[in-house]
Amino acid sequence: MIGLAVVRRLAEMGHEVVVLDLRPEPADSAATGSAVADVTDREAVRKVLLEHEIETVVHTAALVATAQRDPVRAFEINVGGTLAVLEGARAADVERVVYCSSRAVYGDVLGADPRGSAPRISERQPVNPKGVYDVTKVAAEGLGRNYRRDHGVEFVALRYGSIYGPGKDVASHGGFGILSRMVEDPARGRPVRVERGGDQVDDMIYVEDVALGTALAVTATSVPETEYHVSSGVGHTLHDLAAAVEAAIPGAEIEIGPGLDHVGFGIDYYAVLENDRARRDLGFEPEFDLRTGVADYLARLAH
């Protein structure tokens, strides 16, 4: 999901983009080149980086939805894959690796507030991984920091808010697809009923703002910090998202139950992510709020 939006954004900005994926994907049509390989195959990744003379890597590959029940595979892909990228970057003199990390690194530091008002956290918040996915993200970031210090690879970790936009479906993202369902079902004239989570405050960001923030991390002259929040910096609930959908689709039927954790993964890292560093160092400023984000989402669905 992030990859597709970032490839398009970078191509629009005039960059040559090579897509590396397990199989040919729609993103490839916007790209200058493509390669098929397993991200955990260090030799293959190194070859692609060398052959295409890659200057910057945006590393998005990760196992998300099934990480908790398959820790071995989660580590192979999320940590082994990042190691392959970092080793390859070192061997191929890649200048920068932009790693698509996650607020999951904060694990159960957050969400402790039973009333649902998510804490506001800065980009200096200590990590505290809980689930398997969280642990893999902390490990990958930690490795990247070491390659930055020891091996001259300018590693940057981006931690995103809850992303909504085309491509984030329930099949690949599990409960994380709920935000998309709240837009796509009404767009198709279907009612949406969300069991629970209406009281949960969360930081929701439109995928095109994710693409913007990620592209800025690629093109910024320098990235003095290692961790950045690409986020809205604003707290919203599903009711706010529903209002945005109803404004665009009069008569949309959306029903939201009370309670917390609308994603339903038992995750505890809902938070409003302050993005001071990203604004200062990357020049990041979200271009969409919930209303304009939903409107753009619906326009893209209609195509």
Binding residue for its own copies, selected from 17, 86, 223, 242, defined by CB under 8 A: 86
| 111 touches its own copies by CB under 8 A | no
Nearest-angstrom CA–CA distance, 68 and 72: 10
Instruction: Choose between 50 and 187: whose C-beta lies nearer to its own copies.
Output: 50
Residues numbered 115 to 174 that lie near its own copies (CB under 8 A) are 126-132, 134-136, 138-139, 142-143, 145-147, 150
| 72 touches its own copies by CB under 8 A | yes
Which helix (DSSP H) or strand (DSSP E) does residue 280 occupy?
helix 276-282
Q: Which stretch binds its own copies (CB under 8 A): 10-18, 82-90, 157-165, 286-294?
A: 82-90
| 71 touches its own copies by CB under 8 A | yes
Instruction: Choose between 159 and 168: whose C-beta lies nearer to its own copies.
Output: 159
Instruction: Choose between 220 and 263: whose C-beta lies nearer to its own copies.
Output: 263
Kindly provide the b/e burial profile for residues 173-182, where b requires at least 16 CB atoms within 10 angstroms of the residue's own CB: bbbbbbbbbb
Instruction: Choose between 128 and 292: whose C-beta lies nearer to its own copies.
Output: 128
Q: Which stretch binds its own copies (CB under 8 A): 77-85, 176-184, 250-258, 283-291?
A: 77-85
Q: To which residue do tokens 């706010």 refer? A: 240
Instruction: Choose between 32 and 128: whose C-beta lies nearer to its own copies.
Output: 128
CB of 139 to its own copies, least distance (A): 4
Kindly provide the b/e burial profile for residues 9-36, where b requires at least 16 CB atoms within 10 angstroms of the residue's own CB: bbbeeebebbbbbeeeeebbebbeebbe
Q: How many residues bind its own copies (CB under 8 A)?
A: 29
Nearest-angstrom CA–CA distance, 293 and 139: 32
Which residues are CB-neighbours of 161 under 8 A, at least 6 positions away? Answer: 103, 202, 203, 204, 205, 229, 230, 231, 232, 273
| 97 touches its own copies by CB under 8 A | no
Instruction: Choose between 38 and 253: whose C-beta lies nearer to its own copies.
Output: 38
Using alpha carbons, select from 248, 300, 302 the residue that is nearest to residue 4.
300
CB of 42 to its own copies, least distance (A): 8
3-state SS class at 162: strand
Tell me which DSSP letter residue 122 carries.
Answer: -
Ranges of beta strands (E only) in the chain are 18-21, 33-36, 56-59, 96-100, 120-121, 154-160, 162-164, 192-194, 204-206, 227-230, 254-256, 272-273
| 75 touches its own copies by CB under 8 A | yes
Contact 245/294 with Cβ under 8 angstroms? yes
Binding residue for its own copies, selected from 42, 59, 173, 236, defined by CB under 8 A: 42
Instruction: Choose between 71 and 174: whose C-beta lies nearer to its own copies.
Output: 71
Cα angle 184, 213, 124 (rounded to 5 degrees) comes to 110
Instruction: Choose between 76 and 289: whose C-beta lies nearer to its own copies.
Output: 76
Residues numbered 226 to 265 that lie near its own copies (CB under 8 A) are none
CB of 109 to its own copies, least distance (A): 8
Q: Which stretch binds its own copies (CB under 8 A): 13-21, 68-76, 95-103, 200-208?
A: 68-76
Positions in the binding site for its own copies (CB under 8 A) = 42, 68-69, 71-72, 75, 79-80, 83, 86-87, 126-132, 134-136, 138-139, 142-143, 145-147, 150
